Structure 1
Amino acid sequence: MSTISTTKFALGALSAVLIVTGWGCQKRTVPTVPPQTNQPIVPSEASRSENYALVPLKQDLQVAPSSSSALGATTTIPTTGNSYYEEFAPSKLQLALGEQRPIILYFFAPWDEATLANDRRIATWINGDIRGLRGMRVNFDNEATLRKTYDVTGVNTAIFIGTDGKEKMRLTGSLDEEKFRSALTLIAQQ
């Protein structure tokens, strides 16, 4: 037997051993979506990981189901003072505009670590200072119409909309708490 054939045989046998024994593999349990809904599965607090795309919860925040919309129920993170940071849905935006609430639209991308970091910060910065504030996290890749409506050309963009339904301020890039809070104050004064 030649050296090449022996090497191929040895590598093939090693591969078979690795596959059979599962050496180097991790067992993963993948949750399934019930057939009657098309909602993402939200992991329990115990299984929540550092890189999970939804906003990690603070002590005073609780995950609660939001009202149903045309796209189905989504996860809502209530903060103190009747303010929310939740997944975007067109019906939620229309409702908030109709109720003349101050709104924040944050365009994130699940593949961009900087936007996920800002996403976590925003959840902690939205608080009870502004009654009725609606913060919505918008997946940049999935909402082309909304991007066009607000002329958003890149991820990591926060748009602050006043109670009159008009854009009052826009922040892009890494968010800083002081600028974010001054933008909140601006839309609260409408």
Structure 2
Amino acid sequence: MNYLQHIPTYVYVVFIVLMWMGVARCYPRSIRVERLTLMPTLIVILAVRAYLQLFPQPGLIDLAACILGTAVGIRIGWQHARGWVVQVNLETRRLAVPGDILMLGIIFGAFVFEFALHFGIATHAAWIELPVAQPGAAFIWAWLAGMTVGRNVNLGLRYRAAVQSAAKLSEVH
């Protein structure tokens, strides 16, 4: 049986759009501060929706796995962005950031993971019935979402530090 024919067309469209966004982030660019919330919000929504669609009744173990995955993801995302040289333009409210393959990896990983889960359920794979499958899925989704959150919180706090530094300088003069 061909399981790929059951994938709705919009999934391919969303995949292509998100991959394009991921590839665009592989090159140095300038971003508006307001956009720092866009990808983390989008990834969190997609992760929660995908998880609850497949596992509609999460338990406490799933919640614990989600919290742990989020913490690990935030830490990795934070560490990833920590070493970047970021230029802040306070007048235009923009950050100049280096190219970053992390988002492309997160997007690709999320789609591969989602496909694997759906395929496992559709084919009644033995691994999907294991007790670790549901909390494992919660951990992985939270880990993927957490990396985007950690990266962008790091950038947002660096922008805020630049704003505060500029405010202190203007008070002195």
Question: TM-score band (shorter)?
Answer: under 0.3
TM norm structure 2: 0.27
TM-score, normalised on structure 1?
0.25
Question: Rg: which structure is higher?
Answer: 1
Greater RCO between the two (CA within 8 Å, min separation 6)? 2
| Higher normalized helix content (fraction of residues) | 2
